[in-house]
Chain A
């Protein structure tokens, strides 16, 4: 029963809250969408914490994404034991990196007076769920082994069934392994992942939704006109106000 709640219902609750909440916050509360950087108040301790954590978590995110998008390629890559080991150790390394970073960040927030002035309860909730997420992932990898193969063959079909609105909960519920610890960690990891998605709109997690990828192809300089100066002078154009968001650079 719990399995059905966690892997059948929770995903949809989380995704619905995530979608509605994020769109509402982005469109109606744009001023509150920020990474809330505290580097200005404390920069030195932030360096190792933030770098270790973010690079680790970003790599892990894309690793999971690749496993979800092209599971066959992952399985094929893992065909050779050496390549499997390389992949597993790399992923494990990034996980350790993000865990160390997270612990450094928690210590920084807990011990720096200036940072405490800009902290709220949700910051600590974020730390808690991130810790559960990363620690369960690491323990799972330690007890279970070869998670990349398992992700491609079990997790990807499950996630696809979730997105197809036909959740195949049995894939997760009937997982069997000799190691009960690994099983517990897998389930924790999945449930906690959906929890994180669900609380995105209520926490500083929103900043990863506005990651500035468009900066890569944007022009450096940005000039915005209030209205189209050139069109105002042509009497033939009866409705020049159409160019409402006229941008010219």
Chain B
């Protein structure tokens, strides 16, 4: 067992209102610079939709992530042979137009325009060339299903849906969508790190944050191709790639990342997970049908004495173990099993989990066109979801419908249980049926409800101390240790001959 700690995250999609506050907070701190205007380390997509960059999920186009290769995995569009062969021109790399051409407006023209009959306008100018442009697209052009024929209907996940199911999704009365906020997943098996020819990308041992060393990046651009989530971006001005740093300077001082701190829906949770690094290869290369289960299994129970002992032996600080025991992520992912990884079939073992959205199940349109909120079960059962389960399973479980259904049953049971507690109009039989189907008890339902709806800042973000003070001591030898010879010696004092 080789235990390491990892900062992991949960995004609760039922609570996301798609306000983009996270994106703006991130942009203001990190990417409001020349060359980075087009980058959105945090972006919010509407699903169904093509996302940002366009069709990023379609690995037939971008060749991102890993593919199973015997007992192991190999990079789809990068790697030692393919990467070096394509180093002079990378055929699978998205270019600027796959994201969007960033622009600003000539506001000064509004003031400087001479008096005339026409309303002065501030024309859009490209932030790259400075010339007037016709705006083609933006980072969230498919927001709230706008431009559905161009965007939502091109959603890559539809390839698993029948034509009838697709049509049903776009009937006005049955239309459904949800938001999908995305940041770097800081994967356990990062394809970007493996693809970098110059070794500029690395995973931090202490907390698992994946970073790009700006001094070592040589613009070979392989990480942009290899990341299946397209969360590594090429800065066209500096000639260096950049990515989400999980606000590590904030983490090290005990604050959550800016996107999470600013989230008005409080959908984001962050905490430590302990995992067994020796199992990464086996899990990443397992059969697609079991990859979600195996992925969840790699995270260890931080309350297990054997795990605690092994973690200590591996140098994990007690404060980190304690943070892992209080981790909200552990509760969502392991205890309650209601959070799922995004596109696990990419085999990077992402550390960002999503509670899938249940909201569309709440009501349906009856045959006479009225909006029917009262079904026989009051809260419509999960079978009456508007969104085809297959769509969500394509997003979160590599096509396993049952896994999504299991989560929905639990989320539904929590609602019924809370209805029983607060309004008290649910019969015992109804409650028991729902709770048994979801196989949770009332206490668990209350705990889920509490962490979902009432959790405080400290409950949502459990950040272990970074122990930088120890790191500095170790690097600089500033401190004194038992048995040494006082201050001032940089070297071990040795007796002369």
Residues of A near any B CB (own CB < 8 A) = 30-31, 33-43, 46-47, 50-51, 53-55, 113-114, 117-118, 207, 210, 212, 214-216, 218, 220-233, 235, 238-241, 244, 248
Pairs of residues from A and B, 9 with the lowest C-beta to C-beta distance, nearest first: A229-B315, A212-B197, A225-B205, A30-B215, A220-B194, A34-B239, A36-B239, A54-B88, A215-B197
Contacts of A221 in B (CB 8 A): 189-190, 193-194, 203
For B79, B89, B96, the residue with the greatest tally of chain A CB atoms inside 10 Å of its CB is: B89
Q: Mark B146-179, 1 if CB is under 8 A from A, else 0.
A: 0000000000000000000000000000000000
Q: Mark B205-222, 1 if CB is under 8 A from A, else 0.
A: 110000000111111110
A30 lies within 8 A of B95 (CB): no
B217 lies within 8 A of A34 (CB): yes
B471 lies within 8 A of A37 (CB): no
B218 lies within 8 A of A222 (CB): no
Q: How far is the CA of A216 from the CA of B84 in the complex (A)?
A: 9
A118-B236, A222-B193 are contacts. A40–B93 as well, Cβ < 8 Å?
Answer: yes
Taking CB as reference atom, which chain B residue is nearest A248? B205
Contacts of A233 in B (CB 8 A): 312, 315
Tell me whether chain A's interface is mostly helix, strand or loop, or mixed: loop
Partner of A114, one of B91, B129, B217: B129
Q: Tell me, rounded to whole Å, the shortest Cβ–Cβ distance linking A110 to chain B.
A: 15
11 more A-B residue pairs beyond the given contacts A113-B131, A221-B189, A238-B484, with a C-beta to C-beta distance below 8 A: A31-B215, A40-B234, A42-B95, A43-B93, A50-B88, A215-B83, A216-B84, A230-B315, A238-B481, A239-B484, A241-B473
A226 lies within 8 A of B129 (CB): no
Q: Tell me, rounded to whole Å, the shortest Cβ–Cβ distance linking B424 to chain A.
A: 53
Interface residues on B, range: 35 or more
A35 lies within 8 A of B239 (CB): yes
Q: Tell me, rounded to whole Å, the shortest Cβ–Cβ distance linking B360 to chain A.
A: 38
A30 lies within 8 A of B216 (CB): yes
Q: Tell me, rounded to whole Å, the shortest Cβ–Cβ distance linking B130 to chain A.
A: 8
Q: How far is the CA of A54 from the CA of B90 in the complex (A)?
A: 13
A30-B216, A229-B316 are contacts. A216–B483 as well, Cβ < 8 Å?
Answer: no
Q: How far is the CA of A31 from the CA of B476 in the complex (A)?
A: 25
A241 lies within 8 A of B476 (CB): yes
A33 lies within 8 A of B218 (CB): yes
Contacts of B475 in A (CB 8 A): 227, 241, 244
20 contacts between A and B (CB under 8 A): A30-B215, A35-B220, A39-B89, A39-B95, A41-B236, A51-B89, A55-B88, A113-B129, A118-B237, A212-B87, A215-B80, A221-B190, A221-B194, A222-B203, A223-B203, A230-B313, A233-B315, A235-B481, A241-B475, A248-B205
Partner of B221, one of A37, A216, A222: A37
Contacts of B224 in A (CB 8 A): 40
Q: How far is the CA of A241 from the CA of B478 in the complex (A)?
A: 10
Q: Tell me, rounded to whole Å, the shortest Cβ–Cβ distance linking B81 to chain A.
A: 9
Q: Tell me, rounded to whole Å, the shortest Cβ–Cβ distance linking A30 to chain B.
A: 4
B199 at the interface (CB under 8 A from A): yes
B203 lies within 8 A of A39 (CB): no
Taking CB as reference atom, which chain A residue is nearest B466? A226
Contacts of A218 in B (CB 8 A): 199
B93 lies within 8 A of A34 (CB): no
Contacts of B218 in A (CB 8 A): 33-35, 207, 210, 212
Q: How far is the CA of A212 from the CA of B220 in the complex (A)?
A: 9
Q: Tell me, rounded to whole Å, the shortest Cβ–Cβ distance linking B290 to chain A.
A: 22
A41 lies within 8 A of B199 (CB): no
